[in-house]
Amino acid sequence: MKYNVIEGLKYTRQHEYARPEDGAAVVGLSDYAQDKLGEIVFVELPDVGAEVEAGKSAAVIESVKAVADLYAPVDGKVTEVNEALLDQPEVINQDPYGEGWVFKVEVKDESQLEKLMDKPTYEEFIIKEEEEEE
Partner 1 sequence: MGNVKKTPFYEKHLALNGKIIDYNGWLLPVQFPQGLVEEVHDTRKRATIFDVSHMGEVSVEGKDAEAYLQKILVNDVSKLKDNAIIYSPVCYPDGGVVDDILIYRINSENFFLVVNAANTDKDYEWFQENLFGDVRLQNLSPEYAQIALQGPNSKSILQELTDIDLDGMKFYRFQADVSVAGVNSIVSRTGYTGEDGFEVYCKNEGAQALWDAVWEAGEKKELRPAGLGSRDVLRLEASLPLYGHELSREITPLQAGLNRFVALDKPVPFNGQEALQKQKQEGISRKLFGLEMLERSVPREGYPVMAGDEEIGWISSGSYSPTLEKFIAMAFMDPEVAKQEEEVQVLIRKRLYRAKITKMPFYRRD
Q: Which residues bind partner 1 (CB under 8 A)?
A: 38-39, 41-42, 44, 60, 62, 64-65, 67, 86-87
Residue 120 burial by CB count (10 A; 0-12/13-18/19+): exposed, middle or buried? exposed
In the complex, the smallest distance separating the C-beta of residue 67 from partner 1, rounded to whole angstroms, is 7
In the complex, the smallest distance separating the C-beta of residue 52 from partner 1, rounded to whole angstroms, is 16
Compute φ and ψ for 130, nearest 5 degrees.
-65, -40
- The nearer residue to partner 1, 37 or 54, going by C-beta atoms, is 37
Which of 99, 88, 87, 100 lies closest to 33, judged by CA? 100
| Contact (Cβ atoms closer than 8 angstroms) between residue 91 and residue 100 | yes
- The nearer residue to partner 1, 25 or 58, going by C-beta atoms, is 58
In the complex, the smallest distance separating the C-beta of residue 43 from partner 1, rounded to whole angstroms, is 9
User: Which contiguous run of DSSP H or E holds residue 122?
Assistant: helix 119-133
- The nearer residue to partner 1, 22 or 134, going by C-beta atoms, is 134
- The nearer residue to partner 1, 39 or 53, going by C-beta atoms, is 39
In the complex, the smallest distance separating the C-beta of residue 72 from partner 1, rounded to whole angstroms, is 17
In whole angstroms, what is the distance from residue 52 CA to residue 88 CA? Answer: 24
